[in-house]
Amino acid sequence: MPYKEVNEDHLKVYYPIGEVAQILGVNVSLIRYWENEFSALKPVRNKKGNRFFTRNDLEYLRRIHQLVKVQGYTLDGAKKFLEESEQEWRRKQHLIQRLENIREELENLKKSLQL
């Protein structure tokens, strides 16, 4: 069962666990289970201990849902995939930063040669 899309006009800062489960079309207990299995999920808790998930948590849960429920990954396979994709993202961010620095140096060099 595909998860429901969130209306972009009404994005919240925190989503209660029940709402997250409803968006993904899964049980609350599955969200709690995934929280225990995936260390990257760290929902905020209020004084009562209720879980509240950020937009990033919600996106991460969507990725878990896609991998496990739709694509049929095992939990270990999904963990490995997410870990590797995070490392790849960091590598790409590092390359982008290096390229931006090179561009800035070249633009400064171009300006100094035009004077």
Helical H segments across the chain, by residue range:
17-24, 28-37, 55-65, 75-114
Q: What is the three-class DSSP state of 37?
A: helix
- pLDDT tens-digit profile of 57-96? 999 999 999 999 999 999 999 999 998 888 887 888 899 9
The two tokens of residue 112 are: 């100094």
pLDDT at 53 exceeding the cut of 80:
yes
Give the DSSP H or E segment for 44. strand 44-45
- Residue 93, pLDDT score: 87
- Residue 10, pLDDT score: 59
- Residue 2, pLDDT score: 56
pLDDT at 4 exceeding the cut of 90:
no
* Residue 50 CB contacts under 8 Å (≥ 6 apart), including other chains: 16, 17
pLDDT at 9 exceeding the cut of 50:
no
Domain spans, the chain = 8-114
CATH class (in words) of the domain with range 8-114: mainly alpha
pTM across the whole model = 0.69
- pLDDT tens-digit profile of 16-52? 999 999 999 999 999 999 999 999 999 999 999 999 9
The two tokens of residue 14 are: 């925190």
